[in-house]
Amino acid sequence: MSITYGYVRVSTESQKLDRQFVAMREFGVPEGNTFHDKLSGKDFERPSYQRLLKKLKHGDTLVIKSIDRLGRDYCEILEQWRIITKEKQAAIVVLDIPLLDTRHKERDLTGTFIADLVLQILSYVAQSEREAIRQRQAEGIAAAKARGVKFGREPKERPEAFCEIAGAWERREISAREAARRLNVHHKTFLEWVKT
């Protein structure tokens, strides 16, 4: 018996899945058959997606809202599409793009060609958007740094005993690890402190 599954994804914990869950219910995905991840689409190492992939069998159907919900890496989207439709022989339905519905096996050569072409274009667009996001992020960070915004943790205050312990380290009376232990910091922090 074939089973219909849904897959929904957002990139961060703060984003909402509601709109995609509504689309799955409206399509008729049975309650409890929708898998979700709150992780980036840069790769397919997502726990729920991996569980879903293991469940998919011949004749099953996977429903997604849009191609970028599946992922944002061009080659990986095409590879996952191949695994699902060819290796597992399951169908995929992309709700936003009716052409990307592989349930219709009787589709002629022209229809298959058009669907493959649309998939290639949308996969390319998904990856391009991911690269644009990364570029905008880098530009935002650079602009913030130019305005004097500091990133990362505030540097740790040196304890009062630092000079005495650093002196013992410089005289080779103790190791850097022992000095760090006495100061209750990581040895790399200690080594940074003695460099400055």
User: What amino acid positions are annotated as catalytic residues?
Assistant: 11
Distance CA 115, CA 186 (A): 56
> Which residues, 6 or more positions from 191, have their beta carbon under 8 angstroms from its beta carbon?
176
Number of Cβ within 10 Å of residue 119's Cβ equals 20
**CB contact set of 19 (below 8 Å; sequence gap of 6+):** 65
How far apart (Å, rounded) are the C-alpha atoms in residues 66 and 63? 9
For residue 183, give the amino acid letter: L
CA 5 to chain centre: 21
Taking the C-alpha atoms of residue 31 and residue 17, their distance in angstroms, rounded to an integer, is 15
Do the beta carbons of residue 130 and residue 69 sit within 8 Å?
Answer: no
Query: What is the per-residue DSSP string for 2-54?
Result: --EEEEEEESSTTS--HHHHHHHHHHTPPTT-EEEEES-SSSS--HHHHHHHH
